[in-house]
Amino acid sequence: TSRRNRQPGLSTRAIHLGYDPATENGALTPPIYMTSTYAFETAEQGSELFRGERKGYIYGRTKNPTQTILEERIASLEGGETAIALGSGMAAISGTMLSLLDAGDEVVIDHTLYGNAYAYFTQALPRWGISVKLADFTRPETLEAALGPKTKLVYFETPANPNLRVIDIAAVAAIAHAHGAEVVVDNTFATPILQRPLEHGADIVLHSATKYIGGHGDVLAGLVVGRAETLQKVRQTGLRWVTGATLSPFNCFLLLRGLKTLELRVERHSSSAMKVARLLEGHAKVASVSYPGLESFAEHEIAKRQMSGFGGLISFELDGGMAEGMALMNRLELVTRAVSLGDAETLIQHPASMTHAIYSAEEREKHGISDGLLRLSVGLENVDDILDDLERALDSL
Ligand SMILES: C/C=C(/N=C/c1c(COP(=O)(O)O)cnc(C)c1O)C(=O)O
Q: Answer yes or no: 392 catalytic.
A: no
Please confirm, yes or no, whether 233 is among the known catalytic residues: no
CA separation for the pair 327, 373 (Å, rounded): 13
Distance between Cα 117 and ligand 1 center (Å): 8
Closest to 121 (Cα-Cα) out of 148, 144, 142, 152: 152
Residues 6+ apart with CB under 8 A from 123: none
How confident is the model over 49-80, as pLDDT tens digits?
999 999 999 999 999 999 999 999 999 999 99
Write down the catalytic residue from 61, 233, 240, 285: 61
The catalytically annotated residue of 186, 203, 343, 389 is 186
Residues 6+ positions from 198 with CB-CB distance below 8 Å: 78, 79, 80, 205, 225, 226
pLDDT of residue 1: 58
Q: What is the pLDDT of residue 5?
A: 83
* ipTM score for this prediction: 0.99
Looking from the CA of residue 188, the nearest atom of ligand 1 is 17
Q: What is the DSSP letter of 39?
A: -
Residue 39 alpha carbon to ligand 1 centre in Å: 37
Q: Residue 4 Cα, ligand 1 centroid: separation in angstroms?
A: 40
Q: What is the pLDDT of residue 4?
A: 76
Q: What is the pLDDT of residue 141?
A: 86
Question: In the chain, which residues have pLDDT < 70?
Answer: 1-2
Ligand 1 proximity of 89 Cβ (cutoff 6 Å): yes
Angle of the 262-281 helix axis to the 383-396 helix axis, nearest 10: 30
The answer to whether residue 384 is catalytic is no
Binding site membership of 188 for ligand 1 (Cβ less than 6 Å) = yes
Q: Which atom of ligand 1 is nearest to the CA of 115?
A: 21
C-alpha of residue 339 to centroid of ligand 1, in Å: 9
Say yes or no: CB of residue 287 within 6 Å of ligand 1: no
**pTM of the predicted protein model:** 0.98
Ligand 1 closest atom vs CA 209: 13
Residue 268 appears among annotated catalytic residues: no
- Which of 351, 301, 6, 5 is CA-nearest to residue 161? 351
Active-site option among 13, 73, 196, 211:
211
User: Would you state the pLDDT for residue 140?
Assistant: 85
Q: What angle do CA 193, 213, 194 make, to 5 degrees?
A: 15
pLDDT number for residue 260: 98
Of 211, 171, 173, 172, nearest to 191 by C-alpha is 211
Q: Is the distance from CB of 160 to CB of 297 less than 8 angstroms?
A: no
How many helices (H) and strands (E) the chain has is answered by 15, 12
Given a contact cutoff of 8 angstroms between Cβ atoms, the answer to whether 91 and 61 are in contact is no
Q: Ligand 1 center to residue 297 CA distance, Å?
A: 23
